[in-house]
Each structure stands twice: as C-alpha cells, then as structure tokens.
C-alpha cells in the first residue's frame, strides 16, 4: 500500500495480522470447547410446569358432548393394546398403543396442530404416559380423558341415578348422561324412553389452533 510498509517488507499491516489472529483463535476455540449434549424437546422447567397442571384433562361429559355434536376437530386415540381396542373402543377412535408412540404411521397423529387429540385407556395411566412423552417433545393439543374408559362407563354408559335429595344440577347432568348413553347405543327403559329428555347443551370448548403463517420463500442471491 504505502511506502512505509514496503520499506519494512511486511506483506500485511499489523492491524490485519491481529485481526487474522483473532479469527484463528476464535475458530480454534470452537474446536477446543467442550462439547455439550443437547437434548430434544422442552426444557425440564417447562416440562414440570405442564406436568403438574391439570389442564390436560377433559371430563367424560365434555367428551361425550363433543362427540355427539360431531366436533370435526376431535380425534380420539386409544392407547391400549390392539386386542382391547378390537374388543371395545369409542366411536371413530384410532389405536395407538403406547409402545408404538414413535411409529411413523402413528406419530403424525400425535405431532400435529390440526386436531384436539383426546387420549384414553382403561384408566389414566397409559394415556398419561403418552401425554407426558408428548409434553417432552412439545406436541400440541394433546388431552387426556379423565378417568379413562372406566369413568366413561360409570358416567355415560351406566350413570348412577341421583338421590331424591340431590340438587337440580345433578338431575340435569343425569339426564344428559342418559341421553348421551342412548347416542352411544344404550337401550333405554320404556318408562324413561317416553319422557322427553332434554340434554343440556354445553357449548363445546373451542380450542383455537394458532396457525403459523406460511411465508413465501424469498430467493437469495447476490
């Protein structure tokens, strides 16, 4: 460049030598730094917060209401074994046994943001395990049927008749359950069949899925 450099016969100025050194040191630092293990999914803190919350549970009454109203966003997932599923399951449910969680065939049903997936098993246990795995991997819209099929049978299919002394609310709930049971194929005794049963319509819980906006991919290039 200038005469000064020429006379000293340096190829590059000192500043640039330092700059080059900085780059080499930094790049070398990357090589030498101890490697960390990265784990997939959410952080443990988020995991605990979600796991402790009971937001994931959906009651049998809520579920019955959503099935009867033919909620298009509902997807039922039976987490029990194939045999149990073949024996009895809820209408339109699909079978994803716990151990098949990562099967490509099934994983797409769990890892999505289109449907509200309601997981159930005989009680909460398997459904909960699937939910916890989903929680770890940050799957959205997973729910657990509270009490599972046992609870489903106790409430919807074969509800307990409330006592005479119970509140009006109990009776309304009972008639709703009776009506829901009819929908799921339970015969009704003649005396009750004639009585007009009005099921109280509960507004189906709307879950808004946040759709990410798709962006056009701009082409780069210089």
Partner 1 sequence: MKELERTKRVSISAVLFLLVVVIAVLTFKKPEYVFEKSAEETLEKIVEKDYIISQNDLEQMVVTDYEIIDIRSNYEYAKGHLDGAINISAINALEKESGSFLKELGDTGKKAILYGEHPDEANSAWMLLYQLGYENAMVLCIETSFVNNQFQVKDVNLEKPTVNYAKVLKSLMDKEPTVVKEKKKPKKVITAPKKKKRVPEGGC
Partner 2 sequence: MGPLIPNGLIPLEWNYVIAILIGMAFGYILEASGFSSSRKLAGVFYGYDFVVLKVFFTSAVVAVIGIFYMDYLNLVDITQLYVHPTYLWAAIIGGMVMGVGFLAGGFCPGTSLCAVAIGKIDGIVFTIGLMIGIFVFAELFDVLEPLFVGSNLGNITLVDSLGISPYWIIFIFTIIALVSFVISDIIRKKVKKVFY
Per CB under 8 A, 36 contacts partner 2: yes
* Closest by Cα among 165, 162, 190 to 177: 162
H or E element in which residue 194 lies: helix 190-194
Provide the terminal-to-terminal Cα distance of the chain, rounded to the nearest Å. Answer: 29
Chain mean position to CA 46: 15
Q: In whole angstroms, how large is the CA radius of gyration of the chain?
A: 30
Per CB under 8 A, 28 contacts partner 2: yes
Say whether 42 sits in a helix, a strand or coil: coil
Per CB under 8 A, the list member of 9, 213, 214, 216 interacting with partner 2 is 213
Per CB under 8 A, the list member of 12, 24, 27, 44 interacting with partner 1 is 44
Window of 36-44, 58-66, 167-175, 200-208 that interacts with partner 1 by CB under 8 A: 36-44
Binding positions for partner 1, 105-134, rule CB under 8 A = 107-109, 111-115, 121-126, 128-129, 132-133
Per CB under 8 A, the list member of 186, 197, 199, 204 interacting with partner 1 is 186
Per CB under 8 A, the list member of 4, 9, 15, 31 interacting with partner 2 is 31
Residue 170's contacts (CB-CB under 8 Å, 6 or more residues apart) are 162
Q: How many whole angstroms separate alpha carbon 64 and alpha carbon 68? A: 6
Shortest distance (Å) from residue 55 CB to partner 2: 20
Per CB under 8 A, the list member of 3, 30, 165, 196 interacting with partner 2 is 30
**Size of interface with partner 2, in residues (CB under 8 A):** 18
Number of Cβ within 10 Å of residue 121's Cβ equals: 24
**Size of interface with partner 1, in residues (CB under 8 A):** 79
């Amino acid at each position: 460049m200038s005469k000064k450099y020429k006379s000293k016969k340096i190829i590059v100025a000192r500043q640039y030598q330092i700059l080059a050194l900085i780059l080499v040191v930094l790049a070398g630092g990357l090589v030498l730094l101890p490697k960390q293990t990265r784990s997939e999914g959410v952080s443990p803190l988020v995991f605990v917060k979600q796991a402790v919350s009971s937001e994931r549970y959906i009651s049998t009454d809520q579920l019955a209401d959503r099935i009867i109203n033919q909620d298009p966003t509902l997807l039922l997932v039976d987490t029990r074994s194939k045999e149990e599923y073949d024996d009895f399951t809820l209408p339109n449910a699909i079978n994803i046994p716990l151990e098949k969680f990562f099967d490509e065939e099934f994983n797409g049903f769990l890892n999505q943001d289109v449907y509200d997936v309601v997981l159930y098993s005989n009680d909460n246990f398997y459904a909960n395990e699937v939910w916890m795995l989903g929680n770890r991997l940050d799957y959205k819209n997973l729910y657990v049927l509270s009490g599972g099929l046992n609870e489903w049978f106790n409430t919807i299919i074969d509800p307990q008749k409330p006592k005479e002394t119970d509140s009006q609310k109990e009776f309304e709930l009972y008639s709703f359950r009776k009506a829901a049971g009819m929908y799921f194929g339970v015969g009704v005794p003649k005396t009750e069949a004639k009585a007009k049963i009005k099921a109280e319509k509960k507004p189906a819980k709307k879950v808004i899925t946040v759709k990410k906006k798709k962006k056009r991919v701009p082409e780069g290039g210089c």
